Structure 1
Amino acid sequence: MAKRIIIDTDPGVDDILALLLAFSASSAELEVALISLTFGNIEIKKCLRNAVSVFHVIEKELAHRGEAGKHAFSALKARRPILACGAEGPLDGSKVDAGYFHGFDGLGNVHTKCPHLSADDTYQALFAGEEEAADDDEKLYIPSRQPSHMEILRLLRENEEDSITIVAVGPLTNLALAAAEDLPTFLRAKEVVIMGGAIDEPGNVTPFAEFNVFADPLAAAQLMALTSLDPRRTWPAASPMAPPRRLNKRLTLKIAPLDLTHTQNFTPTAFHAAITPHLQRSSPLAELVSTVVEHTFSTIRELKLARHEATSAEEEMSLHDPVCVWYVLTGGSETWRWQERDVRVETTGQWTRGATVVDRRLVGRVDADVVDKVVVEGEEEEEIAVAAEEQEEPEDDRGGWRAGGNRVGVLERGPDRLLSEELLRRVFSQ
């Protein structure tokens, strides 16, 4: 049976590569039920334009391949995903973006360089107003006027428990809003897989923080707290929301941090060799991918020069977001390695906002906490859990790191084969 997924994204360069990897899966592998948009790399209106333009280019690509008797994107054609807009900013209101890296439009300024690859403005009416938009069977997506977090909850409510995986490759605001709106329904998700954080590597926007977590640290901290049966232990103090008291089910959460995603890259030489044959065949999709990736190579070199760092002709572009889709596609195999760790997020630090914090004094998995040993169903269990909550924090364990905390699966290693080759093979297979 195909794995059913929701992709929560802020369509920038590596986001659209993740989308293309998902859409190019076979209908037996994946079913993309929803594309949920969030602010992040760029503002939400530009995210919507980019997402609709990706569908527009895929339509052109299907026509292009159809002329040659080729077929592609069976998962996308088998079931059109819903497309919905979500959060316009983080929970704490302090919006940031990454236009300096992804371009002012989020896709390497492709809408200016290649206007024929942009969707016309008629799509805007499909997402405006309160009533549901009329569906157009000819489009590769179903427009929704409901907020993303409400569409997430609707799908989780209407499908069997543990049947939908959420892949989040942007700031986690939509997911935090969904959990706040209806936590029992949100916990029906089989798993949440996020691209975010930096464990043993420096951050990419500050010395400590990776962008997606930095863009909304409160949302990330609240989600990670839901991996404990007692979220109060690690709930961010800065949150205006009261934490849930106790959970009957923990959120199953895995993260692909920079430590992992930096190991999967495009290099200019390999990318050019792979994309050139498709450009020579006038592939619209190859033109889109080439434009945004070439912009990224150029931006990486320019940023390094501005920082007086050494540069080379082989500057690598990391495939951060596609790693999460790759995990969903191949995660059932034994080639993935991950470790459960107590990962927490700093939400208020002047210099450490968005840092993903682990206890480096401890080696390997932390001790199981008292509450996680208890199935909260009967009076006896509840009394035990309450007793655990009322225990004073030991003076030598401030923050309760030894007593228990979050249970986040940190992805450490994937298949030995290169994602860069796998991605291009799948997307451009003839």
Structure 2
Amino acid sequence: MRILLDVDTGIDDSLALLYLLAAPEAEIVGIASTAGNVAADRVAANNLAWLDICRAPEIEVALGAAAPLAVPLRTTEDTHGPHGVGYAELPPTTRTLSPRSAAELWVDTVRANPGEITGLCTGPLTNLALALRAEPALPRLLRRLVIMGGAFNHPGNTTPTAEWNIHVDPEAAAEVFDAFSGAPQRPLVCGLDITESIEMLPLHLTRLAERAGSTPVETVGPDDPITFRSATSNPIVRHVTDAVRFYFDFHRSYELGYLAHMHDPFAAAVTLDPALAVTRPATVAVELNGALTRGTTVADWTGMWGREPNADIVVGTDPAEFFIRLIERVGDFAQAVYGEES
């Protein structure tokens, strides 16, 4: 599967990238860097650094728009850390950004490979909306689109009704859902209804280290000081541990438990294997004007609007199976990349 990844990296976006790099059935044909969790230039730097850490082949990384379509950028360093990757300190990289913008990457890639590219968006939809403006035929040129975003029969995580990715650029999200109305293949949408059930725990990090053969095998916990940094031998596991620990601390600060919702790697897993998800078709629109509900994704499940469905919304999954796949794939990948070095 040839995937164009559009991310606002981001702790859970980082795990999504690792999941795809670890998947033998996936080829990442390009990475679009979207402003969201942190500014677009920091997102791009994180993407380049992760590729270095993973000793990945050259993959084009393009810089996205600096701001949403119609509103100032809102970032979330409180959730993902000052650089977007929690406590992790990613090493400097000599890899360089593409001369193309993220929107140009979208358009050029799908035009050159009609029917072959699967798009995966785990951040705000700004770049994709700009690409759709340049190439309205994009929904027919893509093989499929997968979106992490929205909340349907579930509270929001940014406002009482709105999910973060949609809230950052609701105009872009509205343009995307409108553009895919009548597309040959409906977008697959992973909203908070399901992704907040994907709860990573310290035990999952321990199992990841064990699978990768990384030593010492550490078990992080809520009593670890902020200054704690992983000393495990495998660089991939070490940086993941430091990143996810920040995410654990964030969720705990909101009394959600010492855990982390893995929204984006779940979307990556569903991209590769849609059978991991139970879906239900609906017509999705984004509220742009409500004083209290701006950025809310509204789903018409029963055809009240008289419009054809424009999304397949994930309504069920097996979180335990997802974590088995994540640990096996990323753990084996980490071991293969560093082998006896770690």
TM-score range, shorter chain: 0.7 to 0.9
Aligned to 1:180, the other structure's residue is in SS state helix
2:311 to 398, 408, 417: 408
2:152 to 190, 196, 199: 199
Structure 2 counterpart of 1:386: none
Deviations 1:291-349 (A, max 9, x none): 00111111222233xxxxxx65xx22111001111012212x4x532111011111122
Structure 2 counterpart of 1:223: 176
Q: Distance in 2 between matches of 1:173 and 1:198?
A: 18
Structure 1 pair 21–411 and aligned structure 2 pair: CA distance change class (3 A): same
Deviations 1:381-409 (A, max 9, x none): xxxxxxxxxxxxxxxxxxxx432255211
Task: Please tell me the residue identity of whatever aligns with 2:67.
Answer: G
Is 1:227–1:406's contact at 8 Å kept on the other side of the alignment? no
Is 1:338–1:409's contact at 8 Å kept on the other side of the alignment? yes
The Cα of 1:273 is off from its aligned counterpart by 4.3
Structure 1 pair 402–45 and aligned structure 2 pair: CA distance change class (3 A): closer
Is 2:139–2:180's contact at 8 Å kept on the other side of the alignment? no
Q: Distance in 2 between matches of 1:326 and 1:145?
A: 30
TM-score (norm 1): 0.70
Q: Distance in 2 between matches of 1:208 and 1:416?
A: 24
Structure 2 counterpart of 1:99: 77
Aligned to 2:108, the other structure's residue is in SS state helix
1:45 to 41, 45, 56: 41
Q: Distance in 2 between matches of 1:185 and 1:253?
A: 12
Structure 2 counterpart of 1:54: 50
Deviation larger for 341-350 or 273-282: 273-282
| Runs of 5+ unmatched residues, structure 1 | 60-75, 112-116, 128-143, 230-248, 305-310, 367-400
Aligned to 1:288, the other structure's residue is in SS state helix
Structure 1 pair 416–57 and aligned structure 2 pair: CA distance change class (3 A): closer
Structure 1 pair 279–176 and aligned structure 2 pair: CA distance change class (3 A): farther
TM-score (norm 2): 0.87
Structure 2 counterpart of 1:252: 186
Deviations 1:245-278 (A, max 9, x none): xxxx456312100011112121123433443652
**Paired residues, number:** 316
Deviations 1:346-389 (A, max 9, x none): 11222211101124xxxx542xxxxxxxxxxxxxxxxxxxxxxx
Structure 2 counterpart of 1:118: 91
Q: Distance in 2 between matches of 1:270 and 1:5?
A: 26
Task: Please tell me the residue identity of whatever aligns with 1:263.
Answer: S
Structure 1 pair 81–186 and aligned structure 2 pair: CA distance change class (3 A): farther
Aligned to 1:208, the other structure's residue is in SS state coil
Deviations 1:94-148 (A, max 9, x none): 211111110111011423xxxxx3224x54xx33xxxxxxxxxxxxxxxx11101
| Bigger CA radius of gyration | 1
Is 1:153–1:186's contact at 8 Å kept on the other side of the alignment? no
Q: Distance in 1 between matches of 2:215 and 2:85?
A: 18
Aligned to 2:272, the other structure's residue is in SS state helix
Task: Please tell me the residue identity of whatever aligns with 2:109.
Answer: L
Is 1:224–1:406's contact at 8 Å kept on the other side of the alignment? no
The Cα of 1:416 is off from its aligned counterpart by 6.3
Aligned runs of 1:69-108 on 2, under 5 Å?
76-77=56-57, 80-108=58-86
Q: Distance in 2 between matches of 1:264 and 1:163?
A: 29
Aligned runs of 1:194-343 on 2, under 5 Å?
194-229=147-182, 249=183, 252-275=186-209, 278-280=214-216, 282-304=233-255, 312=257, 315-331=258-274, 333=275, 335-343=276-284
Structure 2 counterpart of 1:394: none
Q: Distance in 2 between matches of 1:173 and 1:278?
A: 38
| Runs of 5+ unmatched residues, structure 2 | 217-231, 336-342
Q: Distance in 2 between matches of 1:223 and 1:316?
A: 32
Structure 2 counterpart of 1:370: none
Is 1:228–1:250's contact at 8 Å kept on the other side of the alignment? no
Task: Please tell me the residue identity of whatever aligns with 1:268.
Answer: P
